[in-house]
Structure 1
């Protein structure tokens, strides 16, 4: 059994993309995932499954699409991979709530940094299947656009650390 962490794209507390975490836990249990736990109402779920990452992704996306009536994107990492994302943070001295990892299904394009627009004081670094961004003045002030991030989903370092901790249990 592998501990997996699934990150749902475009899940909000209210409005478009609303998915109560109780429903997400029930959906995961219904499709055979075990020891299911969610973290904050933004589509973070930790569970165990004998399935590989790709099978987990497809199974969860299919069930969420049926639930929502429209395609739902999910990015999946093992607990060990998420721990490595945390360890690889290229901005360890920055406030963890001002650093995000944008999770992607594959490696970021080599021109990701050069293609970014409206950059002010933000710092960008590439990971294996992530784009790290340090928002110096905070995300709320930023106008940064990263085209490669369009199909990804971001989590700040505090959230990543909590998910790593949950995956160890």
Structure 2
């Protein structure tokens, strides 16, 4: 479709904490908004769609409003174009980080940039996570499992951070991108 943009909507608060939404229903909710070629990937709230709408902030607000009205709770939405996610993957933000059974690589999609005074890397006092770098829209976090468990990377930001965030393992983002590129 000419003049359209394909977005990946990374949703927070979907299929966690007892809030279950079948992907069929989620796709239907996006379609109700007049969005085209709506598809989803796995159960963690990743939705692909195309639209001719050019105002991303207005589109995000419209989606969030519709989801909250339909589901009964707020669902923060981080919209990224397929091209933006491809750039993120191609940048290889975790180059040089050794992956072991105790290490997880995570990209945290942000609604607002992190505070400008943040100096990287930022590590937790317990050593269970570190933010190694960030762009205005994404923080790159290395998680260290302790007793087989890890923290929610979206909670690793300073209290001064006023935005919303949702995380995905980096290897999952690669798969999401591949799925989003399929027509």
Shorter chain as denominator, the TM-score bin is 0.7 to 0.9
Partner-residue secondary structure (3-state), 1:37: strand
Which of 104, 111, 128 is the matching residue for 1:105?
A: 111
State the 1:39 CA deviation. 0.8
In structure 1, how many angstroms separate the alpha carbons of the residues matched to 2:83 and 2:108? 17
Partner of 1:44: 46
TM-score when normalising by structure 2: 0.78
Q: Specify every segment of 5 or more residues in structure 1 that has no aligned partner in the other structure, as ranges.
A: none
Contact 1:102 1:154 in 2 (8 A): yes
Say which one has the larger Rg: 2
Partner-residue secondary structure (3-state), 1:147: coil
Contact 1:46 1:163 in 2 (8 A): no
Structure 1 runs (4+) deviating above 6 angstroms are none
State the 1:95 CA deviation. 3.9
In structure 2, how many angstroms separate the alpha carbons of the residues matched to 1:167 and 1:99? 21
Partner of 1:63: 66
In structure 2, how many angstroms separate the alpha carbons of the residues matched to 1:12 and 1:104? 19
In structure 2, how many angstroms separate the alpha carbons of the residues matched to 1:102 and 1:139? 23
Structure with the larger RCO, 1 or 2 (CA within 8 Å, 6+ apart): 1
Partner-residue secondary structure (3-state), 2:124: coil
In structure 2, how many angstroms separate the alpha carbons of the residues matched to 1:162 and 1:69? 30
Q: Does 1:164 align with 2:174?
A: no
State the 1:135 CA deviation. 2.1
Partner of 2:94: 91
Contact 2:112 2:164 in 1 (8 A): no
TM-score when normalising by structure 1: 0.84
Tell me the number of residue pairs that the alignment of Structure 1 and Structure 2 aligns. 168
